[in-house]
């Protein structure tokens, strides 16, 4: 084996480890080095696509995933990566086709079933989702990622008992498993045990300080305890759910409505109502200006309490 | 060792030093008008080396064409007596909404490229001074233009 190949194998392994820890930048750097030496490494392009998805660079991710499949059209992992990328682009049918293709090349890989379960979840096909998860469980009954996914699914469906059972099963195997910690945290929060939920968020963040799900849990805890922050967070998640065009439509719609309301009330001799509408809009604008730095400061204060684990 | 370049990584251009957060261009549109804000977006797109620069420039052109169309329609309706003086402020609200929509769209597209560019090149210039100067530049620039262009570019 040549030195270049050895280095490539090391970078690929490093990238995989970084990605598992949630360090997408580290993974991207390792894979860029690898691809600088071996530009035709299909699995490296596929892993890069997954890292780019995690870094929210979804256009580049799609480009890399398509390259991966073009280079290695009969590789299960390349099709899996393309499927994951298509999901974030909202192309569910195409994603399903890729996961099915991946399954034909490697029928024993539970990840492909998890991918199909994800497609079913986004498509709102709850029965199909469960069917794929059960198939994944039969393929890999002890897999922490499968059990964690089941915990998350049952949590979303409101079956807290089952969710807790699966989450605990994962944590018995891997006490630092991020997804299981997050689900446990949300379960505790649902029960009103805010402090315990915060501890789970800190625990998860100590293993991966950039995890969006762990940060999401911490934010959920903060929004429970801080009304202003909660309001800001809910408004943002509402506006940014789905596409960015939705946020634009709501912002412009809000502007037009308040402007028309203000003009109408003014023309009909209700100056106080007109002033009220104008000041409400102004307050919202000021709040949207002040909100993000305030939110960031609150979150930073919480994050400063996180002690990173030695392995991170 | 040859470095692999990912497709969305911003390319270095002679204008790179001029890049700013697209938020300031939106603010410049609000305070100074589209003549300032949209030309800033185009410059910023080139400075960042945005992967969407063709789309962004095309959107600015579309925005200008839309503004011209809406202004022409409004002026025609006034001349024909189809638009009552009372309804004029409502009509101008539509024009403002159009310009804001284009500006927000440009900001949403440009922000990811800007964040990547900051990651690779380091901190960018602040555009606050120019954005706020737009308030004072607005009358200076628009008063020299014919009414039609003042409406389109305000």
E runs forming strands in A169-217: none
Please tell me the distance in Å from A185's CA to the nearest CA on chain B: 31
Residue ending a domain, among A93, A126, A159, is A126
Res A146: pLDDT: 94
Q: What percent of chain B has pLDDT over 70?
A: 99
Please tell me the distance in Å from B3's CA to the nearest CA on chain A: 5
- Domain assignment present for A241: yes
Domain count of the fold of chain A: 2
Q: Nearest chain B Cα to A259, which residue?
A: B93
Q: Give the pLDDT band of residue B95 (cuts 50, 70, 90).
A: very high
The whole-number average pLDDT for the span A11-33 is 89
Is some CB atom of chain B closer than 8 A to the CB atom of A110? no
Given a cut of 90, whether residue B101 has pLDDT beyond it is yes
Given a cut of 90, whether residue B53 has pLDDT beyond it is no
Residue ending a domain, among A80, A104, A126, is A126
Given a cut of 70, whether residue B1 has pLDDT beyond it is no
The whole-number average pLDDT for the span A18-28 is 85
Return the closest-CA partner of residue A208 out of A302, A88, A306.
A306
The whole-number average pLDDT for the span B118-140 is 88
- Domain assignment present for A303: yes
Q: Which residue would you say has higher pLDDT here, B53 or A5?
A: B53
Q: Which residue would you say has higher pLDDT here, A271 or A232?
A: A271
Expressed as residue numbers, the domain containing A293 is 226-312
Given a cut of 90, whether residue A48 has pLDDT beyond it is yes
Q: Give the pLDDT band of residue A2 (cuts 50, 70, 90).
A: low
Q: What percent of chain A has pLDDT over 70?
A: 96
CB contact under 8 A, B93 and A251: no
Angle at A222 between CA A217 and CA A228, to 5 degrees: 135
Domain boundaries, chain B: 16-153
Please tell me the distance in Å from A107's CA to the nearest CA on chain B: 32
Return the closest-CA partner of residue A291 out of A247, A234, A220, A212.
A234
Q: How far apart are CA A113 and CA A105, in angstroms?
A: 13
pLDDT in tens, A213-265: 888 888 888 888 877 777 777 777 777 666 667 778 888 888 899 999 999 99
Are A148 and A112 within 8 A, CB to CB?
no
Q: In this predicted complex, what is the ipTM?
A: 0.74
- Give the domain CATH number at A71: 1.25.40.10
- Domain assignment present for A197: no
Given a cut of 90, whether residue A81 has pLDDT beyond it is yes
Report in angstroms the alpha-carbon separations of B1 from A49, A58, B4, B55. 22, 27, 9, 33
CB contact under 8 A, A251 and B100: yes
- Domain assignment present for A244: yes
Name, in order, each residue with C-beta under 8 angstroms of A177's C-beta and a sequence gap of 6 or more: A144, A148, A170, A171
Q: What is the pTM of this model?
A: 0.73
- Domain assignment present for A274: yes
The whole-number average pLDDT for the span B19-43 is 94
Given a cut of 90, whether residue B65 has pLDDT beyond it is yes
Nearest to A36 among B1, B93, B97 (CB): B1
Range in A102-106, A236-240, A269-273 the model is least confident about: A236-240
């Amino acid at each position: 084996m040549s030195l270049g190949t050895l280095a490539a194998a090391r970078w690929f392994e490093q990238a995989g480890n970084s990605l598992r820890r949630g360090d997408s930048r580290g993974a991207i750097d390792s894979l860029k080095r690898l691809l600088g030496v071996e530009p035709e490494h299909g699995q490296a392009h596929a892993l890069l696509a997954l890292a780019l998805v995690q870094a929210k660079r979804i256009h580049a991710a799609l480009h890399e995933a398509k390259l991966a499949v073009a280079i290695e059209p009969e590789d299960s992992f390349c099709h899996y990566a393309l499927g994951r990328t298509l999901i974030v682009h909202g192309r569910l049918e195409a994603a399903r086709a890729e996961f099915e293709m991946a399954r034909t090349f490697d029928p024993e890989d539970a990840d492909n079933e998890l991918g199909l379960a994800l497609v079913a979840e986004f498509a709102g096909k709850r029965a199909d989702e469960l069917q794929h998860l059960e198939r994944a469980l039969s393929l890999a009954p002890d897999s922490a990622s499968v059990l964690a996914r089941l915990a998350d699914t049952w949590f979303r469906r409101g079956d807290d008992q089952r969710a807790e059972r699966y989450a605990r099963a994962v944590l018995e195997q891997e006490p630092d498993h991020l997804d299981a910690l997050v689900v446990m945290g949300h379960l505790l929060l649902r029960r009103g045990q805010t402090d315990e939920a915060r501890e789970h968020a800190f625990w998860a963040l100590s293993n991966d300080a950039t995890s969006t799900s762990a940060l999401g849990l911490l934010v959920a805890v903060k929004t429970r305890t801080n009304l202003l922050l909660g309001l800001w967070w809910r408004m943002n998640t509402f506006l940014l759910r789905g596409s960015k065009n939705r946020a634009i439509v709501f912002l412009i719609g809000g502007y037009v409505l308040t402007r028309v309301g203000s003009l109408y009330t003014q023309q009909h001799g209700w100056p106080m109502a007109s002033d009220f509408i104008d000041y409400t809009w102004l307050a919202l604008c000021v709040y949207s200006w002040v909100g993000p730095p305030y939110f960031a400061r609150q979150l930073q204060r919480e994050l400063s309490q996180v002690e990173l684990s030695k392995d991170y | 060792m040859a470095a692999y370049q990912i497709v969305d990584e911003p390319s270095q251009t002679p204008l790179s030093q001029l890049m700013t957060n697209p938020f300031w261009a939106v603010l410049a549109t609000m305070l100074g008008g589209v003549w300032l804000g949209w030309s800033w977006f185009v410059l910023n797109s080139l400075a960042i080396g945005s992967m969407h620069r063709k789309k962004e420039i095309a959107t600015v052109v579309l925005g200008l064409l839309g503004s011209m169309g809406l202004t022409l329609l409004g002026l025609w309706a006034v001349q024909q007596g189809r638009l009552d003086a009372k309804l004029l402020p409502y009509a101008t609200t539509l024009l403002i909404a159009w310009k804001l929509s284009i500006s927000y769209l440009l900001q949403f597209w440009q922000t990811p490229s800007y964040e990547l560019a900051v990651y690779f090149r380091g901190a960018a210039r602040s555009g606050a001074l120019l954005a706020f100067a737009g308030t004072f530049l607005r009358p200076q620039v628009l008063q020299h233009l014919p009414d039609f262009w003042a409406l389109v570019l305000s």
